[in-house]
């Protein structure tokens, strides 16, 4: 069955909560998810296979910058390029809406995420000490959305399938 990209809305609350629990150990509460999914100004992209939510990426567009708040992939679907696909889709949508740069925080020990973000043109610009529940630091990363920086950051539409 082919992958289907799409937006997330309030009707996807249960799927988002399940993926959040499976991938991120319940990073957001149900109330936080409700606020995220109801807010039409926030960007929320997903990859589906049939009824199953396999990957999602969320972000807030603040003037001309995208603040990426979450990237999650079903554990059984990791290392198949889904994180890259859904994140490229989110970045493309932000660029269409006028964003010139994107930022995020990533757990300093998350090698897989650091590799993904590096391939997409993100570079480390700072550190937030003790940012995560476990006391670990977050690395602050930025990427330009106006300069070619990596695969998928051009103006070619993202193709799934």
For the chain, the structural domain boundaries read 3-144
> What fold characterizes domain 3-144?
Aminopeptidase (3.40.630)
The span from the CA of 9 to the CA of 38, in Å, is 6
Active site positions, annotated: 105, 117
DSSP secondary structure code for residue 148 in this structure: -
Q: What is the pTM of this model?
A: 0.87
104 closest CA partner among 82, 79, 83, 77: 83
Q: What are phi and psi of 120, to 5 degrees?
A: -95, 10
- Could you list the pLDDT tens digit for every one of the 161 residues in the chain? 899 999 999 999 999 999 999 999 888 999 999 999 999 889 999 999 999 999 999 999 999 999 999 999 999 999 999 999 999 999 999 999 999 999 999 999 999 999 999 999 999 999 999 998 889 999 999 999 997 544 444 443 333 33
Helices (H) and strands (E) in the chain, counts: 4, 7
Sort strands 101-107 and 65-73 into parallel, antiparallel or unpaired: parallel
How long a stretch of residues is the chain? 161
Phi-psi region of 121 (alpha: psi -120 to 50; beta: other; left: phi over 0): left
């Amino acid at each position: 069955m082919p992958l289907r990209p799409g937006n997330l809305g309030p009707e996807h609350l249960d799927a988002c909560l399940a993926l959040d629990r499976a991938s991120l150990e319940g990073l957001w509460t149900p109330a936080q998810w409700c606020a995220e999914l109801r807010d039409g100004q926030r960007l929320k992209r997903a990859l589906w296979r049939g009824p199953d939510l396999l990957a999602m990426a969320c972000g807030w567009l603040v003037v001309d910058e995208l603040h990426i708040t979450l990237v999650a992939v079903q554990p059984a679907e990791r290392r198949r390029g889904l994180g890259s696909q859904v994140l490229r889709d989110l970045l493309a949508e932000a660029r269409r809406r006028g964003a010139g740069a994107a930022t995020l925080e990533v757990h300093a020990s998350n090698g897989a995420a650091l590799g993904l973000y590096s391939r997409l043109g993100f570079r480390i610009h700072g550190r937030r000490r003790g940012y995560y529940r476990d006391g670990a630091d977050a690395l602050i990363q930025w990427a330009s959305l106006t300069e070619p920086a990596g695969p998928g950051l051009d103006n070619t539409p993202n193709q799934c399938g």
